[in-house]
Amino acid sequence: MTAFTLYNYVLSGNCYKIRLMAGILDVKYDTVAVDFYPGFEHRQNHMLALNPAGTLPVMTIGEQVLTDTQAMLAWIALNHDPSGTWYPAADPMLGPLVQQWLAFSGRLTNSAGLAGLHSMLNWPIDGEAARRAAIKDLRELELHLTDRVFEGKTWLVGDHPTIADIACFPYVALSPDAGLDHDGYPAIRNWLYAVRSLPGFVTMPGIHHLHELREGADG
């Protein structure tokens, strides 16, 4: 029996977050391929009936519909992680910190994610503005992860990986597609390596397994 159905576009970093979380927790699910580009199927009536915002991913659990990526990550963790470490919602400090980084992941979608869309698909946005915002976000992330290294920590929050790491990972890993390489971000590079090392890690186009990376590549 599958846990949910994911309306999915294989090149979407947000859809990949759900596939990655499901892979790590070994959650079985169904997928429905959506022609995001060039077909813009997510804007067609049958998809708008599921998600009036016209965005991907969309997750259905029986009759329930989730349209926010961070909410989907929380649902997977709350329902399929008996340890409670992936989403420590009940912890009075870690829970809010996870929420804070989930919000940051939304910023990454609107900066590095949009910069990548502009670069790869010529998306009609101000690409330079998106790149400037992405650089600001990457610098903020690098500072935080550097502080964590000095504390002897690997992950964004606490002592274990959480849904915050999964939420932030894709658009950081894909940022070289927008010309935003990781050469000046050693803490980010180490964190990306740590996420790729997680058991159950799955790939997407542009994000490879560690053994597939060329020496010194971000990928």
What CATH number has the domain bearing residue 73?
A: 3.40.30.10
> Between 126 and 34, where is the model more confident?
34
Report if residue 163 sits inside a domain. yes
| Co-location of 113 and 150 in the same domain | yes
Arithmetic mean of pLDDT, 74-101: 97
Report if residue 54 sits inside a domain. yes
Report if residue 209 sits inside a domain. no
User: Structural domain tally of the chain?
Assistant: 2
**Is pLDDT at 106 greater than 50 in this prediction?**
yes
Report if residue 218 sits inside a domain. no
**Is pLDDT at 39 greater than 90 in this prediction?**
no
| Co-location of 62 and 112 in the same domain | no
CA distances from 72 to 52, 76, 167 (A): 17, 6, 10
**Is pLDDT at 219 greater than 60 in this prediction?**
no
| Co-location of 141 and 99 in the same domain | yes
Report if residue 89 sits inside a domain. no
Arithmetic mean of pLDDT, 71-99: 97
CA distances from 42 to 47, 110, 113, 132 (A): 5, 18, 17, 28
Arithmetic mean of pLDDT, 65-73: 97
Arithmetic mean of pLDDT, 148-168: 98
Pairing of strands 64-66, 5-8: unpaired
Report if residue 204 sits inside a domain. no
Of 58, 80, 102, the domain-final residue: 80
| Co-location of 183 and 114 in the same domain | yes
Of 22, 55, 80, the domain-final residue: 80
CA distances from 58 to 27, 50, 164, 186 (A): 17, 8, 19, 34
Determine the pLDDT at residue 36.
84
**Is pLDDT at 197 greater than 90 in this prediction?**
yes
> Between 29 and 126, where is the model more confident?
29
Determine the pLDDT at residue 123.
74
| Cβ-Cβ contacts under 8 Å for 37 (sequence gap 6 or more) | 9, 11, 121
CA distances from 145 to 3, 80, 162, 185, 190 (A): 33, 27, 14, 10, 9
Determine the pLDDT at residue 211.
73
> Which range marks the domain in which residue 44 is found?
5-80
| Cβ-Cβ contacts under 8 Å for 11 (sequence gap 6 or more) | 36, 37, 204, 205, 206
Determine the pLDDT at residue 213.
61
**Residues of the chain above pLDDT 90, percent:** 84
**Is pLDDT at 216 greater than 80 in this prediction?**
no
Report if residue 215 sits inside a domain. no
- Alpha-helical regions (H) of the chain: 13-24, 45-48, 69-80, 94-108, 114-121, 127-150, 163-173, 186-196
Report if residue 180 sits inside a domain. yes
Mean pLDDT (the chain) is: 93
CB 174 within 8 A of CB 141: no
CATH of the domain at 170: 1.20.1050.10
| Co-location of 115 and 174 in the same domain | yes
Residue range 131-156, pLDDT digits in tens: 999 999 999 999 999 999 999 999 99
